Structure 1
Amino acid sequence: MTMKAIVHVALIGCGGMAAMIRKRYLETKNAKLVLLVDSNEEVCRKASAELRGIPWSTRFVDALVEGIDALDISTPNYLHAEQAVAALQAGKHVLVQKPLATTVQEAEAIAHAARESGTVAGMYMSFYDNGLYHEAKDIISRGLIGEVTSVRCRGAGVSGKYIPADNWRSSLVKTGGGSFIQLALHSVNMAEWLIDDEIEEVFAYSHNRFSPNIGGDDVTSATCRFRGGALGTLESSYCSYQYVVTVYGTEGYVTITNNRETELMLNARYEGSFIQVKEPNIPTRRTYEEFRMAEVCIENNPYNQHQAFITAIAENKSATVTVETGLRNLRIVDAVHRSAREHRPVEVGS
């Protein structure tokens, strides 16, 4: 594809999470949102009115025409593979909402198509919009909590009791699971990224006791072992509260709760754009009003993933979260699901 000064973008799926992020392309440098696609005509009309009358369609194939450079895919999980592969084979750049797909096999197909196309292909993870996680990674890499000993990550909310039985999120097949793939994928991704290590083995338990409309698990608890020796716990729940990521070290710890509250104890001072620790070896707590669960209220956010996607296209670089990373995340999810079914430890990728 010949690169143009302005990247023409089609948004595939305009409801759900896309309703929260679709305005971003109006403020994204070197990008122009040129088409909205959704199977629901009313959703298309509403989104078009909100976005200054951008053309819309209920047909996915309309996004594959010449003149459209990139597709931002925010459709239900079970449509990701078919749509992403078609877009990549048509020579489009692609950004897919997490999870990359519903199965490892589907994710492998996307990764293969991405390698063949040579275009930019990434997975959108909202946590990367949040500067607190970037500064937490910086703190850990500097050794300000000492050597990493363990990680605890939890993705949870009570939406399981509100999801209707006829919604795609209630389907085991259409989601690829239940609470773990839907809510803990952030945890899986963050656990590896924050400490720059890979999970090699998991042991998990799952059940569904409180969410009758959910086809998969409504609670999963997994322990894991990293290649470097650290241990971890990965939890998900559709029937209780709190997102939390904690990394423990020999000389301190870092905790981020609900994407906006931090608690840290470090072995030295730290001065970040957001996180500031004035006194070492003393717990420091703070709540950041500019951060919300799924939104960052900062003008010109340097970690805006949609801007990063467009910049990656312009500079012929990899996406912030590549589809290969999305594939690896699903290999971990698959290992957790298998462990829970078979009641045994499972090596990732085995």
Structure 2
Amino acid sequence: MRWALIGASRIASSYMINAIRAQEGAEIVSVLSSSAERGEAYARENGIAQSFTDLDAQLADETVDAVYVSTTNEKHHAQALAAIAAGKHVLCEKPLAMSLEEAADMVRAAAEKGVVFATNHHLRNAGSHLAIRDLISSGRIGKVLSARVFHAVNLPDALRGWRINDAAAGGGVIPDITVHDADTIRFHLGEDPVEVVAKAGTSGLGEGVEDSVMSVWSMPSGAMVQSHESFTHRFAGTGIEFHGTDGSIFARNVMTQEPVGEIRLVTAEGESAVPFETHNLYEYSLGLFGKAVNGIGGPSADGIDGIKSLAVALAVREAAQSAKAVAVNYGGF
């Protein structure tokens, strides 16, 4: 599979380029940047043959099979639609778009064109989260009563910029982290939040966008989810917990791009450590994407998963701004 990178991003250079190249027969042939100088330097540093500043010129390469979109959030919609129109399979960073309507446009266009469209939700590819899902689906903790996500971190200096000061580009902790937690909860529980309440604010970094948020989500099963995301917590660690009628799952330091952390299962029989695979999250995801392109199964998170995680994030933001409970609108999906 021949790939084009739409966006000379840090996530691509840190994780995705190596993950793509780890796939059998995969090759990255070009990268797009709004700056010719930056694009040329990025291509040189990462061993990519061509750099472009014009998307149409990049997509005109008929040998390109798939694109990875990792530009700022407000650009995803137009760039993904252009790639889909050119017949390319698309793996798009989260959130898919700035609005539910735009995300739905992308998913429908891909379906009509017959190309694979996926959302780069990395957490559901982790061995830790696959193990947690297996515990829940196999009934080890009985009926799930509640969940707690703590994903308050220290945003590195190199990743700040638009994430902390540019609402028009999709900045803020809600589109950056809450959207991931929404997908992770959906992945584990197999159901979609129906209503949320939330409070957001700035606690040290936000300049016109929120840098911290806490929210509570009501699930169709009656379970309740408590979620906390922030850019300003240096020492908090991350984790996720599920509490059921027959047991509890405590997972620590698993809300990460690395295959690390620990999981404990507590039941009436006692407490035990839960083993899990420590494979590369992105290589795992790219493997499923490649199979989907070849007609085998689907990507780990498809376009509808991306729509639904965005819908929850948008509801959290609305609830925080309005100080009211907000029903999650999935736009018919």
TM-score range, shorter chain: 0.7 to 0.9
Cα distance in 2 for residues equivalent to 1:158 and 1:134: 25
Range that drifts further, 122-131 or 315-324: 315-324
Residues 345/221 of structure 1: CA separation in 2 closer, same or farther (3 Å cut): same
Q: 1:331 aligns with which of 304, 308, 311?
A: 311
CA separation of 1:162 and 1:58: change in aligned 2, threshold 3 A: closer
Counterparts of 2:115 and 2:27 in 1: how far apart (Å)?
18
Equivalent in the alignment of 2:77: 81
1:143 deviation in Å?
A: 0.8
Is contact 2:28-2:48 (8 Å) kept? no
Over residues 118-177 of structure 1, what are the superposed CA-to-partner deviations in whole Å (9 max), with x where a residue is unaligned? 21000011213311111110111111112111111122222287766x6365211211x5
> Counterparts of 2:172 and 2:156 in 1: how far apart (Å)?
9
Tell me, yes or no, if the aligned pair for 1:154 and 1:187 is still in contact at 8 Å: no
Which residue number in structure 2 is paired with residue 314 of structure 1? 294
Counterpart-to-counterpart distance in 1, 2:164 and 2:92: 17
Shift of 1:42: 4.2
Range with greater deviation from structure 2 (31-40 or 122-131): 31-40
Structure 1 residue 44, shift from structure 2 partner: 3.0
For the residue of structure 2 that corresponds to 1:282, the secondary structure is: strand
1:234 match: 227
Deviation at 1:302, TM superposition (A): 9.7
Q: Give the Å deviation of 1:342.
A: 1.5
Corresponding residue to 1:155 among 151, 162, 172: 151
Name the residue aligned to 1:95: 91
Partner of residue 243, structure 1: 238
Alignment deviations for residues 36-74 of structure 1 (CA, whole Å, 9 cap, x no partner): 222233443344334445222222222321221111111
Percent identical among aligned pairs is: 24
1:303–1:267 distance in 2 versus 1, CA, 3 Å = farther
Task: Give the match's secondary structure for 1:143.
Answer: coil
Aligned to 2:175: 181
Shift in alpha-carbon separation, 1:267–1:212, aligned structure 2, 3 A: closer
* Of 61-70 and 185-194, the range deviating more from structure 2: 61-70
**2:106 aligned with 1:106, yes or no?**
no
Distance 2:33 2:282 in 1: 29
Residue number among 32, 40, 62 corresponding to 2:57 in the alignment: 62
1 CA distance for matches of 2:159 and 2:70?
A: 18
Letter in structure 2 aligned against 1:217: E
Contact 1:155 1:186 in 2 (8 A): no
1:227-274 C-alpha deviation (Å, 9 max, x unpaired): 111111121111114322111112222232222222322449xxxxxx
Deviations 1:18-46 (A, max 9, x none): 11121222221242222222223344334
Paired positions, count: 321
Q: Does 1:282 align with 2:271?
A: yes
Gaps of 5+ in 2: 255-259
Q: 1:185 to 1:168 in 2, by over 3 A?
A: closer
Name the SS for the 2:271 alignment partner: coil
Match of 1:199 in 2: 193
* Residue in 2 that maps onto 1:264: 264
> How far did residue 285 of structure 1 move?
7.6
Q: Is the 8 A contact 1:156 1:184 kept in 2?
A: no
Distance in 1 of aligned mates of 2:158 and 2:10: 14
TM-score (norm. length: structure 2): 0.88
Which of 8, 17, 33 aligns to 2:11? It is: 17
User: Deviations 1:305-350 (Å, cap 9, x if unpaired)?
Assistant: 1122112101254322111111111111111111112111111118
Q: Secondary structure at the match of 1:188?
A: helix
Secondary structure of 2:2's partner?
A: strand
Give the secondary-structure state (helix, strand or coil) at the position aligned to 1:28: coil
Q: 1:87 to 1:316 in 2, by over 3 A?
A: farther
How many Å separate the matches in 1 of 2:185 and 2:212?
A: 19
Q: Tell me which moved more, 135-144 or 123-132.
A: 123-132
Q: Secondary structure at the match of 1:91?
A: coil
